[in-house]
Amino acid sequence: MHDIGDDIGRRRWAIAEGYIPSQSAFSDRALISHETACILNAGDAEAHVSITVFFADREPVGPYRVTVAPRRTLHLRFNDLKDPAPIPRDTDYASVFVSDVPIVVQHTRMDTRRAEVSLLSTIAYAEA
Amino acid sequence: MHDIGDDIGRRRWAIAEGYIPSQSAFSDRALISHETACILNAGDAEAHVSITVFFADREPVGPYRVTVAPRRTLHLRFNDLKDPAPIPRDTDYASVFVSDVPIVVQHTRMDTRRAEVSLLSTIAYAEA
Amino acid sequence: MHDIGDDIGRRRWAIAEGYIPSQSAFSDRALISHETACILNAGDAEAHVSITVFFADREPVGPYRVTVAPRRTLHLRFNDLKDPAPIPRDTDYASVFVSDVPIVVQHTRMDTRRAEVSLLSTIAYAEA
Amino acid sequence: MHDIGDDIGRRRWAIAEGYIPSQSAFSDRALISHETACILNAGDAEAHVSITVFFADREPVGPYRVTVAPRRTLHLRFNDLKDPAPIPRDTDYASVFVSDVPIVVQHTRMDTRRAEVSLLSTIAYAEA
């Protein structure tokens, strides 16, 4: 059924924007300020993804390792990353994703510092 | 007149983000929370598009089949997909589009969970 | 000074999303609901751009013709297009841009149907 | 650790959209209306970046010069650019980035003219 989507994507992706506000007008998990890397693995093999997080004024942190099962999507919240270290709030960062099989990466922020929801999204930069 | 735009686009597209909030502050169709795949078929042949929807924790669903007439755009609401199954609300998903002729795909969400309109949009990932 | 940016871009661009809300909470031109095609001509020759607008249920309209001077950007409001016909409000559309020299096209909507500002933006799809 | 991300990116980038509202509903720096070019230098050499800013009705201004250290991200606010000239507010502009090593550029606007936060973001156009 889905074989037409097999191996769509690239192995290296970069998101130059990154910023998780520490404040949220809501306590509901769905509405807490967060950034997400939406990862699609449309193929039939597990995707082993290594994420490196870059900062303005110190060495990068990583790799964070996640596995995306075949034919699955993982909407990974940067807020939830813990190992090797949590992503600091109110801090500029960027990220690079390297996968052993083709994936697709899209970046999203929900910002609820103020009383309403604000959203941004963009396809990440793909290479190779 | 439009022949300069003939066959612009690609045949395979992926949108890694997908999430339709179940809540809306409005009942007007235009302002109900929704996600849209904006499909442009600028060419002179019908585009037969097969859409596969991917989830975090179960097998993909599809294909959903849509036809976009020559020289037409279809702004397809994921909310309206029914066959083979509706897209669940409040659930992470992703999608892959495969067309028999070149098309262009852009992704948009309108989120009106709270009392105001929030929007995101990005060009989808294209291949082949 | 700017010669390093000479001839950056492509000649054909497509924006699959298009929708101008007829309503605005504000009367200030800057805050009226609008969609914009931001066109950059970084080169040293005039860009002659032909725009074709596509709809869901009728033949495309165009070409709309605009000229972007060398080393200039034109943030063209779809709201302002008049010849050969204005863009209808509350109507799905899409657009294709063809230029005789390389340009860069980015798409933006400001939506102020409700009392606040909502924004979306994405790079357009580029080819050739 | 991060060598897998070495030299990801391109050397030339363009952002066709540019507009810094002069108004902000907030005085907190984080919430003042601004536009940002998020630059990622994932490689092991300094990135020397020259930025040229284009306008609708006058010659481009630049180059603005910034250096991004190896393995760092710089989220550069257009609001903060001063040399050779500040970016005028309430004015359409566009920008081209040229780097001596591969970088990734993403564009973001926070618009707080009204009492809430509105965001847009897109990957920039990449070449060469």
Q: Mean per-residue pLDDT for A102-124?
A: 91
Q: Whole-number mean pLDDT of chain A?
A: 93
* Chain D residues near residue C36 by CB distance under 8 angstroms: 17
Q: What is the pLDDT of residue B116?
A: 80
Q: What is the pLDDT of residues B38-58, one digit of tens each?
A: 999 999 999 999 999 999 999
Q: What is the pLDDT of residues D59-87, one digit of tens each?
A: 999 999 999 999 999 999 999 999 999 99
Q: Whole-number mean pLDDT of chain C?
A: 93
Q: What is the pLDDT of residues C42-84, one digit of tens each?
A: 999 999 999 999 999 999 999 999 999 999 999 999 999 999 9
| DSSP-based three-state secondary structure for A8 | coil
Rounded Cα distance, A113 and C7, in Å? 41
Q: What is the pLDDT of residue B128?
A: 67
Q: What is the pLDDT of residue B7?
A: 80
Q: What percent of chain B clears pLDDT 90, i.e. is strictly above it?
A: 82
Cβ distance of D16 and C118 shorter than 8 Å: no
**pLDDT band of C115, cuts 50, 70, 90:** confident
Cβ distance of A109 and D119 shorter than 8 Å: yes
Question: Closest approach of chain B CAs to the CA of C5, in angstroms?
Answer: 24
Q: D91: exposed, middle or buried (C-beta count within 10 Å: 0-12, 13-18, 19+)? A: middle
Q: What is the pLDDT of residue D21?
A: 94
Cβ distance of B120 and A120 shorter than 8 Å: yes
Rounded Cα distance, B120 and A36, in Å? 13
Q: Which residues contact B99 (CB under 8 A, 6 or more apart)?
A: B11, B12, B13, B41, B47, B48, B49, B50
Cβ distance of B55 and A40 shorter than 8 Å: no
Interface probe, candidates B119, B120, B123, chain A, greatest A C-beta count within 10 A: B120
Whether the predicted pLDDT of A7 surpasses 60: yes
Contact at 8 Å (CB) between A42 and B59? no
Contact at 8 Å (CB) between C12 and C97? yes
CA atoms within 13 A on the CB side of B39: 32
Ramachandran bin of A42, using left for φ above 0, alpha for ψ from -120 to 50, beta for the remaining angles? alpha
Q: What is the pLDDT of residue B8?
A: 95
Query: Poorest-confidence range of A40-44, A67-71, B28-32, B48-52?
Result: B28-32
Interface probe, candidates C71, C104, C127, chain D, greatest D C-beta count within 10 A: C104
Q: Which among C19, C107, C114 is the nearest to B116, CB-wise? A: C114
Cβ distance of D124 and C119 shorter than 8 Å: no
Tokens of D84: 């050779």
Q: Within a 10 A sphere around the Cβ of B82, how many other Cβ atoms? A: 9
Q: Within a 10 A sphere around the Cβ of D70, how many other Cβ atoms? A: 16
Helix (H) or strand (E) holding D25: none
Q: Mean per-residue pLDDT for D96-121?
A: 92
Question: Closest approach of chain C CAs to the CA of B99, in angstroms?
Answer: 15
Q: What is the pLDDT of residue C34?
A: 94
Q: What is the pLDDT of residue B1?
A: 44
Q: What is the pLDDT of residues A11-41, one digit of tens each?
A: 999 999 999 999 998 898 999 999 999 999 9
Q: Whole-number mean pLDDT of chain B?
A: 93
Interface probe, candidates C12, C17, C90, chain B, greatest B C-beta count within 10 A: C17
| DSSP-based three-state secondary structure for C9 | coil
Q: What is the dihedral of CA C81, C87, C89, C91, to 10 degrees?
A: -150
Tokens of C34: 């609008």
CA atoms within 13 A on the CB side of A77: 13
Tokens of D49: 């970046």
Q: Which among A12, A60, A121 is the nearest to D8, CB-wise? A: A12
| DSSP-based three-state secondary structure for C5 | helix
Contact at 8 Å (CB) between D35 and D107? yes
Contact at 8 Å (CB) between D110 and D33? yes
Q: Which among C21, C111, C122 is the nearest to B122, CB-wise? A: C122
In terms of Cα–Cα distance, which of A76, A80, A16 is closest to A41? A76
